[in-house]
Amino acid sequence: MPVALSPRLSSEPPSHCDSIWRGATLVTMKDGHYNLIENGAIAVTGGKIVWAGSAADCPAFSDAKQHDFDGGIITPGFVDCHTHLVFGGDRSAEFEQRLNGVSYAEIAAAGGGILSTVNATRDATEDELLAQALFRLKPLLAEGVTCVEIKSGYGLSVESELKMLRVIRRLGVMLPVEVKSTCLAAHALPPEFKGRADEYIDLICDTLLPVVASENLADAVDAFCEHLAFSPEQVERVFTAAAALGLPVKLHAEQLSSLHGSALAARHHALSADHLEYATEDDAKAMAASGTVAVLLPGAYYLLRETQCPPVAHFRRHSVPMALASDANPGTSPALSLRLMLNMGCTLFRLTPEEALAGITSHGARALGLQETHGTLEAGKVADFIHWPLSRPAELVYWLGGQLPCTIVYRGEIRGEFRS
């Protein structure tokens, strides 16, 4: 049976709270570990956890609304810290073509691949992009996501990148989910800049990012550091421009080859470096020194039939926090289930279930700079949590996706169901 490791998480219990939730084992995920509290209780006021611990120690809150569960577990709300959920069209036709024997090169020559998504995104209105993104975001919410990061990066022009970022901001207003917006204009070279990548970087640094910052359209800036995208030197220019505007950075790094983008990201104190299949031990050391989170993305690894796994042993050895995310995107990870990623993180990357769950809670929050407010069941954190009628946390990882019954609490209130 689980052992109560931390009987009480706050020393000064308040005298009043709005609601109390009890009767289940708390999977607090404090410090990235299960840190179970059997027969736990959570007290909530104003959408925040004000007390969490063993029900036996719970102060008497006489006027609080009582919610009693009959067993089961309570986890923090899930954080999907890396998605590209806003885009025009989809690439299911290409998926089918490839399985019918058409090569990537033939598809690209016919205008397919990432540029087909760019064209569809540029052609779509803001409302059309919003409707399509809602259709993709709701399944994530239904399985317990309470915080999601969404990137731009399929507009690749000032106008279309701003359009995507406005859609991302609108999603956060429309749905009961915390949405973090990331500007990924340096995702691919737009066709009209062919052979002039440095000029596209100029456009991002000198024109786009200042507007993004002044209109508060992004919480971070990302780039894709790869031979087929942007060089470390070009990424460094984007990072320098972001820093001058007060925007934190993150990076798609070492997905297909080793350019030491992750060490570059660490030098710029990036929140995270993501993918990382080709990261080295020195990259891991640099990330450890700067507190940069390693975001692992098993969906893209799986769909691309990669064989090189990210160096999980190096990340463990150097205590680099590992997050796990869906990378939901139309090309390499059409994944609409974060729970499926839990299983794939364990089966494909050999994470332990505890590491996988930390990856979508405490470490996922850290990858977004939200470690003070999200990701664990502790006093002072936002009251986002999920009750599951399950025996132990590993069960969340064990089932291959599928929607498990649960009660989702968002900012202290039960969140309704989501259907597309």
Using the rule CB under 6 A, is 299 a contact of ligand DI6?
no
Using the rule CB under 6 A, is 300 a contact of ligand DI6?
yes
Using the rule CB under 6 A, is 117 a contact of ligand DI6?
yes
CB of 419 to ligand DI6, least distance (A): 26
* Binding site partner of 201, from Fe ion, ligand DI6, none, Cβ cut-off 5-8 A by kind: none
CB of 240 to Fe ion, least distance (A): 22
- DSSP string computed for 58-123: ----TTSEEEE--S-EEEEPEEE-------SS--HHHHHHHHTT--HHHHHHTT-THHHHHHHHHH
Binding residue (CB under 6 A) for ligand DI6 from 330, 345, 359, 364: 330
Contacts by 411-414, CB closer than 8 A, 24 or more apart? 411/47, 411/176, 411/382, 411/383, 411/384, 412/18, 412/19, 412/44, 412/45, 412/46, 412/47, 412/48, 412/383, 413/47
Contacts by 259-266, CB closer than 8 A, 24 or more apart? 259/225, 259/226, 259/227, 259/231, 259/232, 260/232, 261/225, 261/226, 261/232, 261/235, 262/286, 262/287, 262/292, 262/294, 263/287, 264/225, 264/232, 264/235, 264/236, 264/239, 265/239, 265/292, 266/290, 266/292
* Binding site partner of 117, from ligand DI6, Fe ion, none, Cβ cut-off 5-8 A by kind: ligand DI6
* Binding site partner of 310, from Fe ion, ligand DI6, none, Cβ cut-off 5-8 A by kind: none
Tokens matching residue 239:
């990072």
Which residue of the chain is nearest Fe ion when measured via CB? 327
Question: What is the contact mask toward Fe ion in residues 12 to 51, using x (rule: CB under 5 A)?
Answer: ----------------------------------------
Binding residue (CB under 5 A) for Fe ion from 327, 354, 355, 378: 327
Burial of 80 (0-12, 13-18, 19+ CB in 10 A): buried
CB atoms near residue 226 (< 10 Å): 20
Strand partners, 74: 26, 387
Query: Which part of the chain contacts ligand DI6 (CB under 6 A), choosing from 119-127, 203-211, 234-242, 327-335?
Result: 327-335
Using the rule CB under 5 A, is 149 a contact of Fe ion?
no
Shorter beta-carbon distance to ligand DI6: residue 141 or 300:
300
Using the rule CB under 5 A, is 222 a contact of Fe ion?
no
Using the rule CB under 6 A, is 116 a contact of ligand DI6?
no
Using the rule CB under 6 A, is 332 a contact of ligand DI6?
yes
Using the rule CB under 6 A, is 28 a contact of ligand DI6?
no
Question: What is the contact mask toward ligand DI6 in residues 171 to 190, using x (rule: CB under 6 A)?
Answer: ----------------x---
Which residue of the chain is nearest ligand DI6 when measured via CB? 331
**Residues at the site binding ligand DI6, with contacts judged by CB under 6 A:** 114, 117, 187, 224, 252, 255, 300, 329-332
**Residues at the site binding Fe ion, with contacts judged by CB under 5 A:** 327
